[in-house]
Amino acid sequence: MKRKASGNYLQIQIDKHESTRDSKPTMKIRESFSERVDNPIAGTAVKYLFFLCVLISLFTTVGILYSLLSQAIGFFFEVPLIDFLTGTRWAPILKPQAYGVLPLVCGTLLVASIAAVVALPVGLATAIFLSEYAPDKVRRILKPMLEILAGVPTVVYGYFALTFVTPQIQTLIPDMLIFNALSAGLVMGIMIIPMVSSLSEDAMLAVPRSLRYAAYALGSTRLEVSLRVVVPAALSGIIASFIIAVSRAIGETMLVTLAAGATPRMTFNVFDSIQTMTAYIVQLSLGEAPHGSLEYNTIFAVGLLLFFMTLIMNVIGHLVVRRWREVY
């Protein structure tokens, strides 16, 4: 009995020693983590640093809105808002003067629509390939090459549209003007493809692998898994990428200034020369309109309208993401 008791006592001491030895690294990690979490000075400093970043973003937005409103109010004192929003002739410099912004809005939406027709299907197809089909080696090569397009200056895209795309289209349509909405929209679509593909791919990669494995176990093909499982599950992120890309197209400046022309008109003919809202702002900013004049204040009125258009697009994107977000 004593020998057995002595053996049990020895085993208990060995187990206690091993548990103490194994728990030392865990205790050190817990102590280190506790010191970092319980440090009130560092936690407070980080919190106020993040809050400062939020304030900088907020004040920047408020400052932009104030600079636009302070100048645009003087314009709307002389030109009624309803005439500005519903007028179909835009000629703030030439006489007889007219301040209907619809031709600029029409040109902007025409170019953005062409860009969306090009970028959305191509970008989504690219995202599906990179996410579901491409091997890792191919993905590591193709994705940086695709994202190079996002780093090309927009003025380069403008000259590319003017000196290459337009002559190629003119070989098929000889009567097309040098400055036109079609070439500007096509090149703009190429420009925003990386935005659509990158954001859509990230949304697809966030879909759990278990959903894919379950679909494969039921006999689905890779195409069926991609289109019927992954894309619906990542729909909120895909739609958000579409809206962000279209907002980027609406706000583009240099490409449309060089390639689309400077002729504000109410037309949906893609072969005509048009003028977008941003192109008009650039044109008048480089002109000789006196500071503080009615012609000069049209810049801020058009800029304010453009600001609210992009704001509405972003709000719609936020609502869509909240409505269709999948939680796993």
pLDDT of residue 38: 53
Task: Provide, for the chain, the percentages of residues in helix, strand and coil under a 3-state DSSP scheme, each rounded to the nearest 5.
Answer: 80, 0, 20
Per-residue model confidence (pLDDT) at position 138: 86
Cα distance between residue 275 and residue 283, in whole Å: 10
Cβ contacts of 251-254, under 8 Å, gap ≥ 24: 251/278, 251/306, 251/310, 252/111, 252/154, 252/188, 252/191, 252/276, 252/278, 253/154, 253/278, 253/279, 253/281, 253/282, 254/153, 254/154, 254/155, 254/157, 254/158, 254/282
Q: For residue 326, what pLDDT is reported?
A: 64
Pairwise CA distance, residues 19 & 322, whole Å: 49
CA-based nearest residue to 86, from 100, 71, 104: 100
Q: How many CB atoms lie within 10 A of CB 32?
A: 10
Quick check: 321 and 240 in contact, CB under 8 A? yes
> Residue 105: which residues within 8 A CB-CB, separation 6 or more?
277, 305
The rounded Cα 290 to chain-centroid distance in angstroms is 36
| Nearest CA-CA partner of 245 in 146, 142, 121 | 121
pLDDT at 184 (0 to 100): 93
Ordered per-residue pLDDT tens for the chain, 328 residues = 444 444 444 344 444 444 444 444 454 444 454 455 456 777 788 888 888 998 998 899 888 888 888 888 888 888 888 989 988 888 888 788 888 999 999 999 999 999 999 999 999 999 999 988 888 888 888 888 888 888 888 899 999 999 999 999 999 888 888 899 999 999 999 999 999 999 899 889 888 888 888 988 888 888 899 888 898 888 888 988 898 899 889 988 889 988 988 888 888 888 989 999 999 988 888 776 777 788 888 999 999 999 999 888 888 878 877 776 666 6
Question: According to the model, what pLDDT value does residue 328 have?
Answer: 60
Token readout for 283 is 């044109």
Torsion angle, CA of 144/204/246/80, rounded to 10 degrees?
Answer: -140
Q: Please tell me the predicted confidence (pLDDT) of residue 17.
A: 46
